[in-house]
Amino acid sequence: MAQFEDLQQLWQHQPPRTMPPCDAAELSSAFRRYGRRHDLIYVVKTVLIACQFTFLVAMLRDRPLALFWACVTDLSGVLFLVWDWRAQRAIARLNFAAPSVAFLRSALARLQAQRDPFRTREFGIAICGIWTGGNLMVANLQPNMTLSSALPVHAMANASMFAAYFLGRWVRRKRFEKECRPLIDRVEAVLQSMEADRL
C-alpha cells in the first residue's frame, strides 16, 4: 500500500506538461483569426440592429407606447448580442503562452459551449424580452382591433419570431462546424499528445 501512495505522490508532483512553443504560437494565431472573423460578424449585426431601430423610431414616432415596446424588443436583442460577443472575444483572447492540460480542457469547454448558446440563461432573458416586447408592440399598433382581427396579426408576429429563432439555430450550427470544429480538433490533438507524454 505504501508503494501505491509513493507512486501517487510522485505522479501528483510531476511538473505540468506544456505544449511546444511552435504549437502554442500556431494555436494563438488560429484563435486570433477566429476572433477577427467574429468581430466582423458582430459589427455587421450591430449595424443591422441600428438600421432596424432607426426604421422603427421613424415608423412609430407618433405611437409612443408601441415605440417603447419596440425599444424593449431591440434592447433585448442587443443584450444577447453583447453577451454572445463577449463570450466569443474571451475565447479569441485565450493565452497559449504556457498552456497546461487544465487550460486546454477549459478552452475546449468554451469552444463546445458555442455549439448552442441558445440554452443559456442570457438567451432565455433576451428571448423573453423579445417575445414580450414584440407582442405588446403589435398590440399597441392597433389598440382598437377586435380579438378576431388581432389574433392573426399576433400569430404572424410570433411565427416570424420563431422562424428567426430556428434560422439562427441553423446558421449557428453551420458556423460552429466551419469555425469552431477545426479549433476543437487542433486543441484535442495537442491535449492528447500532452496527456500521452504525461503517462
Q: Is pLDDT above 80 for 14?
A: no
Other beta carbons within 10 angstroms of residue 130's beta carbon come to 21
pTM of the predicted model, to two decimals?
Answer: 0.72
Q: Which pLDDT belongs to residue 186?
A: 87
Q: Which residue has the cell 506544456?
A: 18
Q: Are 130 and 162 in contact (CB under 8 A)?
A: no
Q: Which pLDDT belongs to residue 20?
A: 60
In the structure, what pLDDT confidence band is assigned to residue 25 with cuts at 50, 70 and 90? confident
Q: Are 30 and 186 in contact (CB under 8 A)?
A: yes
User: Is residue 19 exposed (0-12), middle (13-18) or buried (19+ Cβ within 10 Å)?
Assistant: buried
Q: Is pLDDT above 70 for 3?
A: no
Q: Is pLDDT above 80 for 181?
A: yes
Q: Is pLDDT above 60 for 188?
A: yes
Residue 112, C-beta contacts closer than 8 angstroms, at least 6 positions apart:
180, 184
Compute φ and ψ for 143, nearest 5 degrees.
Answer: -65, -20
pLDDT digits (tens, 9 = 90+) for 58-110: 988 888 888 899 999 999 989 999 999 998 898 888 877 767 788 888 888 88
pLDDT digits (tens, 9 = 90+) for 26-57: 888 888 899 999 999 999 999 999 999 899 88
Q: Which pLDDT belongs to residue 21?
A: 61
Question: Could you tell me how far CA 43 lies from the centroid of its own chain?
Answer: 14
Q: Which residue has the cell 504549437?
A: 23
